[in-house]
Structure 1
């Protein structure tokens, strides 16, 4: 059975979800799970939990752990990456420095100053992983969960020919929300969705062959439903289609919703600050996991999630096909987005691999919104691969939100400050 390497397995809660998803499939329950992280304490935690799960559910999986990335990757069939280069220390700088200049990113992991600098830290490490794979497991599939998704996947596609896909849960997660907004079972909602990560578009929404966009527009007029998703409903009202990422995320990718504190309060209340969530809420999770490992607290029932990784591995191993949405190079998939950029499209998966679906042209207004982000991504990828601070500045200067708030001289000053503050995580050679 397959060997599945987890790089960044110290992301304990998420790693547990993916391990459980994989091993719940009887055909995969005797896989080798090779866990790797540079943080020994977190690695010990996820290793203990994985072994406890295997014992509890009588799976036949082999659990390995190591701080040596090459050892984890060697001979792997799948390499799942979930790294955060610089951890919370770097993330804090990503959001706090721009905030002093008036750029309030409450997520800051996809675009803008935070997204660009996260890419600059992460892409060189991903390239190193790809080069290790070329040597140690050249036929393996790399499954990336690390943000900024589009920039990271684009960077990998330029650095290596290793087969890779980027996965996110916003497509299926938002589909679940839409189903709830219009009052139908999630399993009965059919959709066709494409664009770029965190800004993909539901080009078709159907229930039993019937277009349900009229129902979603009626739901928008319900004040209680509208209040749950103000930004996304306004985007749909003015541009015609519902977008995949949350109100808080989407408000950072366009210039319409958070140019002033009053605007941010009006459109994104209640405030949701991802850095604060990450920095304050991890200890209760870890304490619970320690109790589960020791046996003082039950493991509890395990259920499959909606994450795509296990579905891909299952389809590839068994030949039973599935369709997911993933991030891959735009090789004639969306004709009015730049060739070679990273797009998020429907993908068929079977024993022979990944088969991205041709979408054709997006409606022009959607392609324009995507393109406003893509050129930022393009320059950020070049900045990361070339360690070029000037291109980092140019990327951030073209960011739709940043450019609506700051003069060029202030953007340059902010980029200089961030570059110096994060220098220890930026590869300069």
Structure 2
């Protein structure tokens, strides 16, 4: 019996211990469960500089773009055809290189600021002649013997040598130049013989000798002129002057064997910038000198930049405007025509970015120093019409704080609480309700 009593006591005690690990009092269960999950979403009150920005799309482009036209004359009765296309889209163009060949004639690039607006040949004078001579000298073909800004025999010889270095014969000034030279040589020979005959016949006739010498001089001048007419010239159709090298091929419109259209190639040069498009309302928000964040989405690279100018649809550039525009286009008063935005990066961009789209975040306005900032969704209207934010205390209590909204930007808004100490950085403000919860504004 004693043994039975002891065993029963042990069983009863073990069962009690087992139940004690499962059964909890309401107070103990609540204490061990911890705080309940929040039924609202909150965000921190921040103390920082608030910036209002506008996001638009842009494209990396070179400072200048040129179109190469196929104006080279083909043989009589033949169509102009592309006979050589050495470059492809994305290739670099260096000074002195051939861009394209049309009907056997080259179109090459040389350094210079002035466009090729006329053929250059003997008797040509001007800044474009100086530009050509400097470009040839830079390629190793000087012409120092000619007077400044003049196309003379030395310039002609330098131009001919340059053409030969490319593997082409230069175009002569006159198609019948060779015949003129031959005729002029014959005239010089005849004048030389006439002078010799006069000198041998009667040396006591000085007038006859003088006249024969004058005839020989004129014949030699005519030969020199004929040689210039038979020598090289630079057709405006065979050269493209670019202000900066290396340049880049943006597009090629024709391949070998194609009939040469008016435009065969587009090339760009100069420093890289960014061009974007602005709606009329966005145009009103942008002015020169505003800071820009540039994101190349293809590579993930970020750059800083500055708005340089905005070209309106009528072609005018306005350097300063108001800041009342909105990103979504509200308030458009124009006819929908887009303005062109030009952005200058603060650092040099890689040429590989040319033609790629980028995202431009333009800083429209910024607060003067640090201010209290909350998400825009945290601001609501109270029953009395005042603007409030709802603060959630650590213990779960909620209190409404009256605020005066200020600058808005990037989904946030500046707030000034009343009283001023009613809101502080780090406070939690309600911005919405958690999924599946009851309305958080009850």
- Tell me if both proteins adopt one fold, taking TM over 0.5 as the criterion: no
Which structure: greater helix fraction? 1
The TM-score bracket by the shorter chain reads under 0.3
TM-score (norm 1): 0.18
Greater relative CO, 1 or 2 (CA 8 Å, sep 6+): 2
TM-score (norm 2): 0.17
Which structure: greater strand fraction? 2
Bigger radius of gyration: 2
